[in-house]
Structure 1
Amino acid sequence: MKVLHLDSSSLGAVSVSRQIGAAVAAELAGASGSVVYRDLTAQPIAHLDGNLIAAMRPAPGATPPEDAAVKAELALNETLLAELFASEAIVIGAPMYNFSVPSQLKAWIDRVAQAGRTFRYGASGPEGLVGDRKVVIVSSRGGKYAGMPFEAALDHQEAYLRGVLGFFGIKDVTVIRAEGIGMGPEARDAAIAAALAQVDGLTAAA
């Protein structure tokens, strides 16, 4: 299986989402598959600015951009889209930062969320163009949110990612979650162990 693996944690070697995400990517790829790895923190993608947005959404009759920096960013967009469409499975390492996703991951989403490429608007509304493929969201959280009425209302991480992926037409989404990792060493170890225990069954379900 061809796997696209995205990491977005800023914590490096001590990151829980990176540890679990690596295990997930290896499991999905297997011995005969391949992994395209993109570390969105080590090699951050620039956030959208006015010049890039204008180049990505040119007005009718507009001339192509001549600025070398904008051309380079447009070329990066094509690389990111090619990686996305070439994948058969996607692993998204997504720690919760202040109830949402890291800005590095949001920057990647902003580059691939392109009308006419990953979605389009038709007579019956939006239509995803990516095509269904398996996605595993590796979610790490300092507190506990799943099933907690007040805390769940603050979840703009998993819910947001599910929404974006669904908008792209991706419905096969699995969340492997490590919660409570900020609640002490024992809670952290238990959360990691529980998450890693879910990895073995992914290939059978792929």
Structure 2
Amino acid sequence: MTHSILHIDASIKPAGSISKDLTRAIVDRLRGAHTDSDLIYRDLGANPVPETDAAWIVAVNTPADQRNAEQSEIAALSDQLIAELKAADTVVIGLPVYNFNLPSQLKTWFDQMARAGETFRYSESGPEGLVKGTRAIIAYSSNGTRLGSDIDFASGYLRHMLGFFGITDVQFVASDHFAIDAEASLNAANEGIANLAA
């Protein structure tokens, strides 16, 4: 059975991105174990998806058969991003930490997919995620913001949004003190990758 991988990078660096190096290593490990895997790749730093705005909220809440051409185009991208996420057995996300939080490009990717009836639904017991059975592996990189520390506002948000969509199998590998000890920071991340179940 084909294993589907969705690979998301969010670094704005054109070269020398640690998070990109780590996501590539994770994807290589997964593809080595699943030789028949399918891969969809999005580089949100180089090719960001549009921010949501008033036109977006109108478009995605207009029935498909009533949308004009512009609304259909706006909704089509959102639909495509959701379809990519739902089709993935594993989603690999690069999480470079900028100013203690995630890149705006990565938040916009989540914003494009946060649609009631598509990735979650409201129930009497509260919101329920609709993306089931997907595993997420997060490559966390930072010069000095330690994963899970009081100043890490990135990983908790990412874990919450994935869980909100229904993805609760979430693992992190981290190079989180690169500016302090580059070698140790990368060694820790690579050890985390080596210990991942493929």
TM-score scaled by structure 1? 0.87
The size of the alignment, in residue pairs, is 194
In the alignment, structure 1 residue 168 sits paired with structure 2 residue 173: no
- Deviations 1:102-152 (Å, cap 9, x if unpaired)? 0110111001111101100111111110003210011001114246xxxx2
What are the equivalent positions in structure 2 for 1:1-206 lying under 5 Å apart?
A: 1-30=3-32, 31-58=35-62, 64-68=66-70, 70-146=71-147, 152-183=149-180, 187-202=181-196, 205-206=197-198
Long gaps (5+) in structure 1: none
Supply the distance in 1 between the matched residues of 2:133 and 2:56 (Cα, whole angstroms).
Answer: 28
What is the CA deviation profile of residues 139-173 of structure 1, one whole-angstrom value per residue up to 9, with x for unaligned ones? 001114246xxxx2222100000101111111110
The one-letter amino acid of 1:106's match is K
Sequence identity percentage: 40
Partners of 2:22 and 2:37 in 1: CA distance: 18
User: What is the deviation of 1:62?
Assistant: 10
How far apart, CA to CA, are the structure 1 residues paired with 2:189 and 2:48? 27
For the aligned residue pairs, the C-alpha RMSD in angstroms reads 1.8
* Structure 2 alignment gaps of length 5 or more: none
Rounded to whole Å, the distance in 1 between the matches of 2:65 and 2:133 is 35
Q: Answer yes or no: is the 8 Å Cα contact 1:20–1:192 preserved in 2.
A: no
- The answer as to whether partners of 1:91 and 1:137 remain within 8 angstroms in 2 is yes
Note the C-alpha offset of 1:63.
7.9
Q: Give the superposition deviation at 1:80.
A: 0.7
Q: Distance in 1 between matches of 2:159 and 2:184?
A: 25
Segment of structure 1 superposing worse, 28-37 or 97-106: 28-37
Using the size of structure 2 for normalisation, the TM-score is 0.91
Corresponding residue SS for 1:153:
coil
- State the 1:67 CA deviation: 4.7
C-alpha change, 1:144 and 1:119, in structure 2 (3 Å) is same
